[in-house]
Structure 1
Amino acid sequence: MASRDPARPNVLLILSDDQGHWAMGCAGNPEIRTPHLDALAERGVRFSRFFCTSPVCSPARASLFTGELPSQHGVHDWLSYHHAGRTGIDFLAERTLFTDLLADAGYRLGLSGKWHLGANDRPRKGFVHWYAHESGGSPYYGAPMYRDAVRTEEPRYLTDALGEDAAQFLSAEADRPEPFHLSLHFTAPHKPWRGQHPEEYTDLYADCAFTSCPQGPAHPWQPVTEDGSPVGGESDTREALVGYFAATTAMDAAIGRVLERLDELGLTESTLVVFTSDNGFNAGHHGIWGKGNGTFPQNMYDSSVIVPCLISQPGRIPGGRHCDALLSQYDVLPTLVEHLGLDHTHDPALPGRSFADILAGTDATVGADRERVVVYDEYGPVRMIRTRDWKYVHRYPHGPHELYHLAADPGEEHNLAADPAHAATRIDLAARLDAWFARYVDPALDGSRLPVTGSGQRTPVTPGALPTAFEPGPEAKA
């Protein structure tokens, strides 16, 4: 009956879309309503400094599943074409995903929701259930979906449809002897927002002051549409905030129903639940609407690169904990391998390392572990090194570069890159950043020389040649 063995648990990965780390009640936001995520945090560990590997959806998702950097797997921007059907390209073909390792270990795999890594209509290895969005985003009603390679339009509110599909998968797998992995990938709270979400959720925010999302002057690097609205937002900012918060709360309710089904089936203690998002989001933070491609040059603000992360398995992972260790999406694959006891040897070419000891509560030496207090990020020619106290952002080839003393300036308001008093710190961080990427990057897939604009990757990077076909899409919308 699925896995009843906590030492070899089932896996439920819940992935939101464009959710800022600030957009949960358990993260300290007093305005947004996420009771089920808050309860999940109480049952497990909330990671408050968990970083995406790239602050835009497709590269981040590719890194989450492969454990590779964008300059290793070759997906450097969101995929603006080649989603499905005859023109569908699998951008991760011949790459090893953690789901491949689960399939090899005898797991039965299911997907409900957004894949957005190319060939979205075709199940990956080991998937016995595949209900996938055709592309990277759409309206919440009439969404283009593939079920068993057949294209349909989902008439229901998509968030509810995905939650119901996931719950049905759990029920169908409960009586089978094999363990399961379910990827439940919502499109929420990605735009569109205005007029897209049920009134029972939008009404909750009719009188909200949205003090958690202050709307300051527009960032000078934020592109705008013809009507003057930010590319990553909508023209009516208040309605956009209502929609974003409502989308998050509706998703929280759907997650609650899925977790309730898990309880009803008696699978809670033998299922590892991981909740996170592909990338962060600015809903007015720093004067930006959007994530990394909410500006050009692309930004690496914490609001873009830190994502929510909650991990729970009652009885095996001590609950009610908060961890502020600096961790990354590239750490997920080795962590799953260790926590699940998979027969897999870690590839030293991968940058991540397991944090299974943190999950188990045996991480007493984390503070002295240098590798756990440094993370790296990239978005084409933009790269970042982040320590507990400092952040350095390097833009190839000419800048502008950024240096922030986060211990004194957590809002990243004062760029010290040109300050002679901090030149030694900047030089040291720049050297460490160069050395780290030189260690891990595949030269044939190196993004530091690519003209990535944040407008969509239309052509896959192929080993042996640097691409010239990074054509801009109509807007940075995915």
Structure 2
Amino acid sequence: MTGDAGRGRPNIIVFLSDDQGPWALGAAGNPEIRTPVLDALAARGARAGRFFCTSPVCSPARASLLTGRIPSAHGVHDYLDGPHAGPESVDHLDGVPAFTDALADAGYRLGLSGKWHLGASDVPRRGFVHWYALHGGGSPYHDAPMYRGSTPETATGYLTDAIADDAIAFLEAEAREPDPFFLAVNFTAPHKPFAGQHPDEFTELYRDCAFESCPQEEPHPWLQHLHGGPIGGEPDAREALIGYFAAVTAMDAAIGRVLDRLGGLGLAQDTIVVFLSDNGFNAGHHGIWGKGNGTFPMNMYDESVMVPFIVAAPGRVAEGLVVDDLLSAYDFPATLLELAGLDGSAFESGPGRSFAARLGSAADGRAPEDRAVVVHSEYGPVRMIRTHGRKYVHRFPYGPHEFYDLEADPGERVNLVDDPGRGAEVQALRHRMHGWFAEHAERALDGAVLPVFGAGQLAPLGDDPLSAFAAPGWDGAGPAAV
């Protein structure tokens, strides 16, 4: 699509990383990690400084990005560990409207390159004319199992580059088409495995790095272990850090190749480009390696529930803007559709609201909404409410609960939930949180009463919700967290 005036709709590319902490970006203030392409994207677009996932683990977070619904309204509560393809695998979002459906209805041609991890990876979804999907939720970075449409194949070479190569091929094909395109480029980087997985040109950049941005603190008392190391890490923390940082930089370079080809095809001025991650990640922060299920009970530290977010769109998004609002994945579908000039109101029937106007968008001239500055996340029986200055974490049925004064304690070091002087604040946040979930959760899909251990979800919720979840197995016999 050449973007002539008769078409009127921009192309869209969404780059999604896997397990990238909000700190793992040069533009976010990390002087050690090298992300020149993403830093440049932020400079010519807008970056959200506090963007939250709806759940600090991949499958529910990705489901919310697609649907604008919280896990307790779409029914995916943990990473999916059931059959990923074949006749026994199911689409966990079957019947749940996604923003990709709205794009297909508007005449967009849809493409996927990379990780899906929402069941039935071998079944292209509605509107997708291109489908190159990872078999499951994770894999080594070489010889990864993929599906091209419904046909299995192996991604030879380095997986990050294979995903980028496939995305470039899609762009080259779509440049000849009259209709606009949407492309999801879903990397597995920087998800583990870390050590020995990435090209030398990237690992050598960090061989002598001090990693002051990732201090290796004393292990958290709730830290979970698997195969001799933290469940989200590896036994050699320094080699894991080298691999994690190398994975991010290699992904940054791959994104650069995709964007260069976009420009070479004459499409850059007519394309909305988004970069974000599914969930956050602790790389030693708080003594944790991993995200929400790096600990049991599952944690809601900002490193786990915040992600980087960048969007650039010439004429639609202001350049060099940093938005400090508290924003969430459930806001994403309505925002993206508004930026594209489409009606996203169907994705505002729940908690999500478009924040396009806060990006300098001229999509419809609306003034920014005066919305409550609060976000929520959940992970099964663990729920969070966060304002600019406070955070409350509630664990059904018995706790432990947490309350942090983020103005005095931005690092979430001192749990004040039992401080008598804070009782009124705790009670107010707890009441507000319970009311919000009562409004937006669906009773049959409510995670507060489900046995979510962070050990995987096997099937959609049914008559027996207990059967949908894997038993916890952090002794090394259970599934790896993805």
TM-score clears 0.5: yes
Shift of 1:346: 2.5
Q: What is the TM-score with the length of structure 1 in the denominator?
A: 0.96
CA contact (8 A) 2:454 2:481 kept: no
Matches within 5 A, 1:397-476: 397-462=397-462, 466-472=465-471, 474-476=478-480
Shift of 1:315: 2.6
Q: Deviations over 1:210-265 (max 9, x none)?
A: 000000100000111353x1111000110000000000000000000001111111
Matches within 5 A, 1:57-456: 57-227=58-228, 229-343=229-343, 345-346=345-346, 349-360=349-360, 369-371=370-372, 373-456=373-456
CA distance in 2, matches of 1:348, 1:179: 24
CA distance in 2, matches of 1:320, 1:361: 14
How many residue pairs were aligned? Answer: 474
CA contact (8 A) 2:93 2:118 kept: yes
Give the letter aligned to residue 177 of structure 1. Answer: P
Give the letter aligned to residue 184 of structure 1. Answer: V
Secondary structure, counterpart of 2:54 in structure 1: coil
Q: What is the TM-score with the length of structure 2 in the denominator?
A: 0.95
Bigger mean CA deviation after superposition, 147-156 or 127-136? 147-156
CA contact (8 A) 1:349 1:440 kept: no
Q: Deviations over 1:282-311 (max 9, x none)?
A: 000000000000000000000000000000
Give the letter aligned to residue 333 of structure 1. Answer: P
Give the letter aligned to residue 469 of structure 1. Answer: A
Change (3 A) 1:345 1:325: closer
CA distance in 1, matches of 2:312, 2:149: 31
Change (3 A) 1:4 1:292: farther
Q: Deviations over 1:399-421 (max 9, x none)?
A: 00000000110000000000001
Shift of 1:477: 1.9
Shift of 1:337: 2.4
CA contact (8 A) 2:334 2:348 kept: no
Instruction: Flag structure 1 segments of 5+ consecutive residues without an equivalent.
Output: none
CA contact (8 A) 1:137 1:187 kept: yes
CA distance in 2, matches of 1:469, 1:160: 35
Secondary structure, counterpart of 2:391 in structure 1: strand
Secondary structure, counterpart of 1:111 in structure 2: strand
Secondary structure, counterpart of 1:86 in structure 2: coil
Shift of 1:466: 4.0
Secondary structure, counterpart of 1:131 in structure 2: strand
CA distance in 2, matches of 1:293, 1:178: 42
CA distance in 2, matches of 1:406, 1:91: 36
CA contact (8 A) 1:66 1:96 kept: yes
Secondary structure, counterpart of 1:142 in structure 2: strand
Shift of 1:93: 0.6
Secondary structure, counterpart of 1:333 in structure 2: helix
Identical positions, percent = 61
CA distance in 2, matches of 1:105, 1:287: 47
Shift of 1:152: 1.2
Shift of 1:88: 1.5
CA contact (8 A) 1:231 1:475 kept: no
CA contact (8 A) 1:20 1:306 kept: yes
CA contact (8 A) 2:333 2:347 kept: no
Shift of 1:370: 3.9
Shift of 1:86: 2.3
CA distance in 1, matches of 2:277, 2:311: 12
Give the letter aligned to residue 471 of structure 1. Answer: A
